Amino acid sequence: MQAPQRYRLLDLSIDLARQRVERGGDTLDVQGLSFRLLAFLLTRGTDVVSFDALIEGVWSPAVVGEETVTQRVKLLRQSLGDDGRQPRYLRSVRGQGYQLCEQPLVDSEPAPSVSPTRRRRALIAIAVTIVAIAVLGVLGLILRPAPPPKPATAAQELLQRAAYYAGIGQRDNNERAIALYTQALALRPTYTAAQIGLSRAYSARVCLYNFPYEWTTRAQQLAEAVTRANPRQAEAWSVLAYAYDCRGEMASAIAAYEHALVLNPDDDATRASVAYLYQEQGRLVDALHANLDMHGDGAKVRFRDVQIARELDLLGFHDAAEKRFRRSFELNPDSVFSNIAWPQHLFLQGRFVDAGIALDQAMARNTPHVGLYQLAGELALLRGDRGGAETAFAKAVQLRPQMSLPTTLAALYAEQPPSTAWLDERIAAMRSQPAGVGYPSDRLELVLLEWARGQHKEAMETLSAAVQTGYVDRAYLQTSPLFQPMTGEPAYAAAIDAISQRIATQHAQVLAADWRPSELGSHQP
């Protein structure tokens, strides 16, 4: 029995033989892999089709990953005018695959009855026409070049390649993604998916790859253009939050991330991003819960395991944290976050020799990060090597000159100490920062400047304010040589006590939670 060649899916008419999708008499731009994907799904009715089945049925013999399938589904939805949040034609089934929203119907159009003579005449006419068309077609191919691909199709292909490179997570590939997103937007200036992708890649330049902060402004402008055109576009709110985040505007970033999650509760990457900001606010229980409450496969969320380890470490679950830090360091040699997290953990545990060895390994992986050079400087100070510290802090400045803390550390530990005028200017600039800009940890730089200026009372007030606004890294304050001169101050001891009390409360909340991580044992009510 011949397989059906025409289907109806709600208001869509799909002709498999002609590879055409129509709605209301208009032909939709569904071609290539997008059409093959739709055709394969039609043959499966409303069954849930797994990623493996889709890869085998649509891409074989090519070998692709689930991300390729996800991106192609996005392109198909765009061509059909479908919304992934409120789908009409194609829905995702968490952790399984995809399925059609409605049962497709076979669209049969039986041919009218005709006499044998008329049939022969018709066949002869058709044959003559086919021969004529073939001859004209050959001449046309000889006499003129093939037409260029449609802009919409070309833009979709550029978008797919850009998303592939952006997903790798390396500086050079991020730059390749930016070039491809830009080309796609040159073809379709209001291409929403390309605007979102380019916004995220611009922010990644700053957050991950040490570019100037001005790129976050460009990222913000792209994201805002999408949110104005479509206020319910969850992904646009997420990349807007990322731009705020990379610029240090924590409150604005949290608000935008949370709005994105209201629009799309299944966006695990956004959930992990807002969890990081909860962590920076000292809301460790909220951060850990968010990172554990993934709606899909949490292993696909980059940096999530490092975040969970960091939250466990801050909460006092050091053994559980260490296993995660170590595993991430071993499995992700190209991740800047994994490379700084493991030596930092060892440093905060007072294992300075081990921290130095891990730091050397991280440096050898050629994933430079300001935190690595700062840690190298602090380890040098603990060894009494002030010259080595000066060199390390200077390298941090070279890597990210727009970042304030490395400049301060390089000046404070230079062979020639900074002038009082320089300190006063820097202190005044930091005090004049508008509310809502920066993280609680950013106040520690002002603490160091005020202490160096001899303003010890003000330094302790600033430290207290950092703790009050959410700073909870007690181990760093007690371990770093940068704060050793302050340990005799009563206000310093009070800040440590305040952090300890907050951590003890949250530690107990995690132990009492039914969602606690499995490595902490079963919940005891």
Task: Tell me the residue type at 360.
Answer: D
Instruction: Return the closest-CA partner of residue 29 out of 136, 187, 167.
Output: 187
The CATH code that applies to domain 151-265 is 1.25.40.10
Q: What is the pLDDT of residue 141?
A: 43
Rounded distance between C-alpha atoms, residue 503 and residue 519, angstroms: 19
Position 111 scores a pLDDT of 40
pLDDT value at residue 433: 77
Report residue 516 as tokens: 């606690």
DSSP three-state, residue 302: coil
Rounded to 10°, the helix 32-43/66-80 angle is 90
Class of the domain covering 6-106: mainly alpha
Contacts of 467 (CB under 8 A, 6+ apart): 440, 495, 498, 499
d(CA 154, CA 429): 49
- Point out which residues pair with 27 in neighbouring strands: 22
Q: pTM for this one?
A: 0.66
3-state secondary structure string, 371-388?
HHHHHHHHHHHHCCCHHH
Q: Where are the domains of the chain?
A: 6-106, 151-265, 418-432+442-514
Please list, residue by residue across 453-491, b when 16 or more beta carbons sit within 10 angstroms of its beta carbon and e when fewer do: bebeebbbebbbebbebbbbbbbbbebbbbbeebeebeb
Q: Are 16 and 7 in contact (CB under 8 A)?
A: yes
Residue 157 corresponds to which tokens in the numbers above? 């292909």
Q: Return the residue matching tokens 């089934």.
A: 93
What pLDDT is recorded for position 113? Answer: 43
Q: What are phi and psi of 60, to 5 degrees?
A: -55, 140
The amino acid occupying position 182 is T
User: Mean pLDDT for each consecutive 10-residue tract of the chain (525 residues)?
Assistant: 75 87 87 87 87 80 70 86 85 84 75 48 52 46 48 80 84 91 92 94 88 91 94 94 91 94 92 93 95 86 90 96 95 88 97 96 87 96 96 93 90 94 95 78 95 97 95 97 96 97 96 90 54
- Separation of alpha carbons 69 and 182, rounded Å: 23
How many angstroms separate the CA atoms of 29 and 115, rounded?
39
